[in-house]
Amino acid sequence: MPKNSKVVKRELDDEVIESVKDLLSNEDSADDAFKKSELIVDVQEEKDTDAEEGSEVEDERPAWKNKMQYILAQVGFSVGLGNVWRFPYTCQKNGGGAYLLLYLILLLVIGIPLFFLELSLGQRFRQGSIGVWNYISPKLGGIGFASCVVSFFVALYYNVIIGWSLFYFSQSFQQPLPWDQCPLVKNASYTFVEPECEKSSATTYYWYREALNISSSISENGGLNWKMTVCLLAAWVMVCLAMFKGIQSSGKIMYFSSLFPYMVLICFLIRAFLLDGSIDGIHHMFTPKLEIMLEPKIWREAATQVFFALSLGFGGVIAFSSFNKRDNNCHFDAVLVCFVNFFTSILATLVVFAVLGFKANVINEKCIAENSKMIVTFLKMGNISQDIIPHHINFSAVTAEDYHLVYDIIQKVKEEEFPALHLNSCQIEDELNKAVQGTGLAFIAFTEAMTHFPASPFWSVMFFLMLVNLGLGSMFGNTEGIITPIVDTFKVRKEIFTVIYCLVAFCIGLIFVQRSGNYFVTMFDDYSASLPLLIVVILENIAVSFVYGIDKFMEDLRDMLGFAPNRYYYYMWKYMSPLMLLSLLISSVVNMGLSPPGYNAWIEDKASEEFLSYPTWGMAVCFSLVVLAILPIPVVFIIRRCNLIDDSSGNLASVTYKRGRVLKEPVNLEGDDASLIHGKISSEMSSPNFGKNIYRKQSGSPSLDTAPNGRYGIGYLMADMPDMPDMPESDL
């Protein structure tokens, strides 16, 4: 120490804010004793309590009131509309029961480790996604910004789907349901069925013409659909009110929004089991096709489903876990939420195919009745000989078995003339193989099935209220993944920012409630999230495993959890997960390149969908969505690598001390003087751990701990120590 330096006594309650840079300027860099001294943390356990519970730590960060709220929030975020309308479709298309086994394997290899990783990061650093990645490595801080951009893009169109569900919910309080039958058109002479509806179906016509009033292409915007505009506004008002106070307001709503869908699914399952044909649907669903597991495409689709089912990369998982106490067992939470998500998908699949089995049975009965009438007509006309028809067949009340018997006989006897008869085989499997996903399942196929339910308005109300709650649960997590990191980083008022965010998002979302809005929903769903999210999660995995250091992160987990996580996670994070994610990224890029970019347009004259390619400007928008989502990653890297922006905090951290405790989180930037003293890089530094007593200790001490951010502050004596009037400088 310089000979002129003095030890200054400080009052316990005095707050001092100084810069490490200023302190370094007063030190003699050639002093060997000084070089050996370092700042250590007196490791004493301190409860991480809220301010209202009397904590001495002035940490104003809110916390979950109980563990149940937190678990429901994570379940509500991960369990969304995709569990109901995408998982059943991919399961049915990719091998049924064999796909479930494949999905479970990938859940253990990719899903749980990566979900545990995000939970741990949020809980350890108690920051949103931007703050977490800024701490891991400032050059990789763009990962957090990219997560926010992707979440914003997804929120824009995801809330539109909630608006659609609200519209159908509001229209369900009618008997009969408005989509039960085709509308009639009256003119001066006679009344006839709407031709567009007659060519398709009542539910299809209602979806495209009454609800969306859709245009024939993405280039024909057709103006705003005022009904959907009102529903979109209502959806954003609901999100704004729920998120206005952060987890204090949204946490209470989670009890209903997360639990209500399970009650509805169970009720639907019980009701569906009592309907004819439901067992056929479930049997068709879960019949394993083991040979399909050898196809690489199936593995890619299963990995993609695992990835998106857990909402990885959005930042919402990190944001929710950042409000946890540091000693929370996030490993248990990760395993619990992942398996709840998996069993929810199975439950939804059972419900969907039980209902679709019933629908297929109803349609098959109509098919048999119509074709039986045609056979009777052919018999009367002499086109088919009565001699070939078995005597026990009664066409006025023919069973499915009898019809199939007659159909096979006619097909063999009239082999050459059979195509001209236009008879249908009426196989229930053919109808089940038409299973659709997305909006086609929710607003057409499932909606049509409910029209055959007794008390159909009640079931329609329950179904669309379930969709609204599933959507809101995901929107809460999505919105929290944007608001939390922005508020943490830029210190803005959460209430004001939430209102501004929802207002801006609603205004931009008007694109999706034009008559061509459904095509933009498809565009954003295909291009704004899938590829950018994969890149984000790959960089997350690499940043923790190779930049921050997997060994150091495992030590952080040991300190935080009180036990060492299984080495299984070490090998998954360091080897398996990065390799599998990179393989998934490459296969996704190849698949995207091979698939022509386009959308299914509804052609009014044909009353059917037709695949159209995007126009030139549409291709430019698709490309822009991908670029804008990942652009923050290279931009932040270049800015911080080249020091293009002069940070007001300088290249050293400003730290506030009071009563021997850190009040303000240090800004951890690479390359500052404190880290150079000890030859440390950012990735080697400890995670922030506030509320510890700070003091200086000689390097020869048997126990050495680092400061909260891994840096060694200079020149501070422990503020909680008793008076030290005559302490010699050599002891410093």
> Which distant-in-sequence residues (6+ apart) come within 8 Å of 666 by Cβ?
653, 654, 655, 688, 707, 708, 709, 711
What are the Cα distances from residue 265, in Å, to 252, 269, 339, 470? 22, 6, 17, 11
> Between the CA atoms of 217, 218, 222 and 226, what dihedral angle is there, to the nearest 10 degrees?
120
Q: What is the DSSP letter of 566?
A: P
Q: What is the DSSP letter of 679?
A: T
Q: Which whole number is the average pLDDT over 54-64?
A: 58
- The pLDDT value recorded for residue 60 is 67
Dihedral sign from CA coordinates of 365, 369, 372, 378: negative
Q: Which whole number is the average pLDDT over 28-56?
A: 40
Query: Pick from 136, 123, 97, 130: which is nearest to 287 by CA?
Result: 97
pLDDT at 102 over 80: yes
Radius of gyration of the chain (CA): 32
Residue 76 marked ligand-binding: yes
Query: Pick from 397, 455, 609, 483: which is nearest to 128 by CA?
Result: 483
> Between the CA atoms of 539, 540, 543 and 548, what dihedral angle is there, to the nearest 10 degrees?
180
pLDDT at 73 over 60: yes
- The pLDDT value recorded for residue 611 is 93
The answer to whether 251 touches 258, Cβ cutoff 8 Å, is no
Write down the domain spans for the chain.
69-195+223-352+436-444+453-516+525-587, 364-433
CA–CA separation, 426 and 362 (whole Å): 11
What share of the chain in percent tops pLDDT 70?
80
φ/ψ (deg, to 5) at 19: -100, 140
Residue 79 marked ligand-binding: yes
Residue entry with tokens 């008076």 = 723
CA–CA separation, 442 and 119 (whole Å): 32
Query: Pick from 725, 710, 693: which is nearest to 43 by CA?
Result: 693
Higher pLDDT, 674 or 70: 70
CA–CA separation, 308 and 314 (whole Å): 10
The answer to whether 243 touches 320, Cβ cutoff 8 Å, is no
Q: What angle do CA 551, 567, 139 make, to 5 degrees?
A: 35
DSSP-based three-state secondary structure for 695 = strand
The answer to whether 352 touches 438, Cβ cutoff 8 Å, is no
Q: Which whole number is the average pLDDT over 671-690?
A: 40
DSSP-based three-state secondary structure for 38 = strand
Q: Provide the pairing of β-strand 654-658 with 15-19.
A: antiparallel
Listed range (148-162, 281-295, 564-578) with the worst mean pLDDT: 281-295
Q: Which whole number is the average pLDDT over 471-479?
A: 92
CA–CA separation, 399 and 271 (whole Å): 25
Residue 83 marked ligand-binding: yes
The answer to whether 666 touches 655, Cβ cutoff 8 Å, is yes
pTM for the predicted model, two decimal places: 0.78
362: tokens are: 């109803």
CA–CA separation, 501 and 479 (whole Å): 9
Higher pLDDT, 577 or 36: 577
The answer to whether 689 touches 713, Cβ cutoff 8 Å, is no
- The pLDDT value recorded for residue 646 is 58
Mind listing the pLDDT tens digit for each residue in 492-509?
998 999 999 999 999 999
Residue 201 marked ligand-binding: no
- How many C-beta atoms lie closer than 10 Å to residue 71's C-beta? 19
H helix or E strand, kind and range, residue 191: strand 191-193
- The pLDDT value recorded for residue 38 is 44
Mind listing the pLDDT tens digit for each residue in 597-607?
899 999 988 88
CA–CA separation, 462 and 267 (whole Å): 9
CA–CA separation, 443 and 163 (whole Å): 12
- The pLDDT value recorded for residue 224 is 93
37: β partners: 698
pLDDT at 651 over 50: no
- The pLDDT value recorded for residue 348 is 92
Query: Pick from 77, 142, 553, 51: which is nearest to 319 by CA?
Result: 77
Model confidence band, residue 144 (pLDDT cutoffs 50, 70, 90): very high
Dihedral sign from CA coordinates of 436, 441, 443, 448: positive
H helix or E strand, kind and range, residue 661: strand 661-662
Q: What is the DSSP letter of 66?
A: S
CATH, range 69-195+223-352+436-444+453-516+525-587: 1.10.4160.10
Residue entry with tokens 């893009």 = 153
Mind listing the pLDDT tens digit for each residue in 206-242?
999 999 999 999 999 889 999 999 999 999 999 999 9
Half-sphere exposure of 329 (CA within 13 A, CB side): 9
DSSP-based three-state secondary structure for 716 = coil
DSSP-based three-state secondary structure for 698 = strand
Query: Pick from 17, 37, 6, 136: which is nearest to 712 by CA?
Result: 37
- The pLDDT value recorded for residue 697 is 39
530: tokens are: 């899938």
Question: What is the residue-wise DSSP string for 100-159?
Answer: HHHHHHHIIIIIHHHHHHHHHHHHHH-S-HHHHHHHH-GGGTHHHHHHHHHHHHHHHHHH
> Prior bond to 688 cis, omega within 30?
no
pLDDT at 662 over 70: no
Q: Which whole number is the average pLDDT over 246-272?
A: 88
Residue 474 marked ligand-binding: yes
Residue 364 marked ligand-binding: no
DSSP-based three-state secondary structure for 244 = coil
What share of the chain in percent tops pLDDT 90?
45
CA–CA separation, 258 and 79 (whole Å): 8
- Average pLDDT of the chain is 80
Model confidence band, residue 721 (pLDDT cutoffs 50, 70, 90): very low
The answer to whether 584 touches 530, Cβ cutoff 8 Å, is no
Q: Which whole number is the average pLDDT over 312-335?
A: 93
As to burial, measured by CB atoms within 10 angstroms (0-12 exposed, 13-18 middle, 19+ buried), residue 676 is exposed
Q: Which whole number is the average pLDDT over 355-380?
A: 88
